[in-house]
Structure 1
């Protein structure tokens, strides 16, 4: 069942969350980092990036936050802007920081001769991503032949975006799609990737909503029906912040909602703050509502839970920024999935660091002895 394959946008809050995973958890995570389009605001740059900055900035961020472990780099949303020369430059820059960063290609990408120059030196040459409606054995086989690869050279991601994932109706169809992909050949890993999270924020200002994690239920049920052995079947979702990998069509964007999305074993708890008031007050209230709920996993569950607890209790005064909130969402979510997958695989993970609450000593607590 392990490792876990989260699909993360290569945005500040998400790549920093990956970099802050504890070491014993990082050993069992292989993210698919998706480079945002040029229309996406970059919080670190405080503006949208330019074409000339993409390779340098991506390489630096890989070097700082994910320099040693294998991961997958998906450039689908930036490919047209960069062109073949720019893509090759991007990957060569990234590989100077992490040689185990595997390019991700759609079936149509494999017809481009460029991808013969993007093979990795290790056992995994490329990763392939197919939508669930593209899961046709002949289409996949023919696409691999154009680039000279075998399934055994690749990890394949099967993207269920847009598919109905209610376990009551979806388990059989999801298992069938995975089986069709598995019949193509002996892939290094077949990775389910999907999310039941809605496209629009489900919580009104000041309200709380529970969204079922059907993607987890369907995957768990498919393990029993699918003919692919569990050690070659991987689980992925899209982190905590989105149910679809998409970016705005126009540059810029509105103010981020002041909220946290807190993953439970079976649901996503969406806790949204008021639309008015200072960030410090609003986000403190959001954190209090999580900590005081039945869903709080405990301060030691992850570094994000420690931050949420500290803000709720007034141990830290600063509420952070939208990137910090995305980091907390993502870090808690990944630890939830890693721990749950670990339980299935018989692997345990250490508790996280806990920030001690300040205490006021009594005047008479430490009497001096004459």
Structure 2
């Protein structure tokens, strides 16, 4: 078998592993065509919701999600060809014969593609047994290796020790993968802690993006990048941890977590105060609301132009900004922010002065991705230098 020719693509290809819930689908729905073409999400489905297929049908043209129904029992719910929407099936090494056969039908019906998900922490049977498992997948789905993408899922990496343990394990798996003619190989990991409820409130708290650091350490392998968005990689974990207004805001190498309880008991006041604090922070992008749909919604709340929203909305804003930020970072040829990104009519921490409302056709939502220049993150209101 001839190994695939690997290397960095001319355009970034980002495969986030996301929970198939309303906030996630809302963030994906607001991507523009240019951003959607660079994004290949994997949606984890743990319960069969009849509104899920409707949500998938409303995704922008050009965005073809992969769907993992491993958590569902065999049967109609797991037969993706019955969903009636374009998608790519995701197969695990331990799937039943019946499910793999059904995945093959769905793959040939929609895109002639399949994602094989190899979990680095669980699928540890050795190279020969792993080869036998993927050959079984190819045989039952009736797909060639060249029609399949390998997703090496490193799982939860929440500290430096996790990165040290995961790196050699992932390298061994990628070395094994080079024996086969995969369409592409992506490494995904998640760095958000299982719960955020113990973090301080009413001040931005910095958390390192250990998943991003792991991928940077693997850059010499030429693999694609994936993560778990702003959620934890541990199944069933609640990244928000409570009902407080919470925004997880992605910057270069870190998340800034805003959990807000002050300004009285009214939700509108608390969310408005949270958003005002965020838009005045050094890590708020220069183009402001133009960076993503999520940034646009945050700016509206900071000005009292909309209500508090809900946990679904806060997750959607956080996810929207995260996707735009990662796409921007993957597209930087030298890994550096521009010295000055200001265009005529823009100002730091704000929107285009000429824009008075409506749908803005910039920033990776309903228009092409644009660049912002967040400053170095801070904690508790301390100023930071621009990156």
TM-score, normalised relative to structure 1: 0.77
Which aligned pairs between 1:267-306 and structure 2 lie closer than 5 A?
267-274=254-261, 277-297=265-285, 298-306=288-296
Counterpart residue number, 2:99: 114
Instruction: Confirm or deny that 1:104 pairs with 2:93.
Output: no
For residues 235 and 173 of structure 2, the distance between their equivalents in structure 1, rounded to whole angstroms, comes to 24
Q: Report the alpha carbon displacement of residue 282 of structure 1 after superposing the two structures with TM.
A: 0.6
For residues 61 and 32 of structure 2, the distance between their equivalents in structure 1, rounded to whole angstroms, comes to 14
Instruction: Confirm or deny that 1:260 pairs with 2:270.
Output: no
The 1:354/1:5 distance shift into structure 2, 3 A limit, reads: farther
For residues 44 and 289 of structure 2, the distance between their equivalents in structure 1, rounded to whole angstroms, comes to 30
Instruction: Confirm or deny that 1:337 pairs with 2:337.
Output: no
The 1:26/1:345 distance shift into structure 2, 3 A limit, reads: farther
Larger radius of gyration: 1
Count of residues in Structure 1 that have an aligned counterpart in Structure 2 = 320
Give the 3-state SS of the residue equivalent to 1:160 in structure 2.
strand
Counterpart residue number, 2:151: 157
Could you tell me whether the CA contact under 8 Å between 1:4 and 1:338 is conserved in 2?
yes
Which one has a larger percent helix, Structure 1 or Structure 2?
1
Give the 3-state SS of the residue equivalent to 1:262 in structure 2.
strand
The 1:354/1:265 distance shift into structure 2, 3 A limit, reads: same
CA RMSD of aligned residues (A): 3.1
Counterpart residue number, 2:42: 32
Counterpart residue number, 2:297: 307
Q: Report the alpha carbon displacement of residue 67 of structure 1 after superposing the two structures with TM.
A: 5.6
Q: Report the alpha carbon displacement of residue 152 of structure 1 after superposing the two structures with TM.
A: 2.3
Which aligned pairs between 1:75-224 and structure 2 lie closer than 5 A?
75-77=69-71, 79-80=72-73, 83-88=74-79, 91-94=80-83, 96-98=84-86, 101-109=87-95, 111-119=96-104, 120-121=107-108, 124-133=112-121, 134=123, 136-147=126-137, 148=139, 149-163=143-157, 166=160, 169=164, 172-173=167-168, 176-201=171-196, 203-224=199-220
Match of 1:323 among 288, 309, 312: 312
Could you tell me whether the CA contact under 8 Å between 2:191 and 2:233 is conserved in 1?
no
Counterpart residue number, 2:372: none
The 1:107/1:175 distance shift into structure 2, 3 A limit, reads: closer
Q: Which runs of 5+ in 2 are unaligned?
A: 1-7, 358-387
TM-score, normalised relative to structure 2: 0.74
The 1:127/1:210 distance shift into structure 2, 3 A limit, reads: same
For residues 26 and 345 of structure 1, the distance between their equivalents in structure 2, rounded to whole angstroms, comes to 23
For residues 108 and 254 of structure 1, the distance between their equivalents in structure 2, rounded to whole angstroms, comes to 31
The 1:174/1:262 distance shift into structure 2, 3 A limit, reads: farther
Instruction: Confirm or deny that 1:69 pairs with 2:57.
Output: no
Q: Which runs of 5+ in 1 are unaligned?
A: 38-50, 359-370
For residues 70 and 61 of structure 1, the distance between their equivalents in structure 2, rounded to whole angstroms, comes to 13
- After superposition, the C-alpha distances for 1:31-73 in whole angstroms (9 at most, x for unaligned) are 0011133xxxxxxxxxxxxx6xx3x422211111256432200
For residues 237 and 226 of structure 2, the distance between their equivalents in structure 1, rounded to whole angstroms, comes to 23
Q: Report the alpha carbon displacement of residue 239 of structure 1 after superposing the two structures with TM.
A: 0.9
Q: Report the alpha carbon displacement of residue 284 of structure 1 after superposing the two structures with TM.
A: 0.8
The 1:174/1:291 distance shift into structure 2, 3 A limit, reads: farther
For residues 22 and 86 of structure 1, the distance between their equivalents in structure 2, rounded to whole angstroms, comes to 30
For residues 257 and 157 of structure 2, the distance between their equivalents in structure 1, rounded to whole angstroms, comes to 22
- After superposition, the C-alpha distances for 1:258-282 in whole angstroms (9 at most, x for unaligned) are 1100000110000110076111011
- After superposition, the C-alpha distances for 1:253-305 in whole angstroms (9 at most, x for unaligned) are 99633110000011000011007611101111111111111111122211211
The 1:123/1:12 distance shift into structure 2, 3 A limit, reads: closer
The 1:198/1:125 distance shift into structure 2, 3 A limit, reads: same
Match of 1:17 among 27, 34, 40: 27
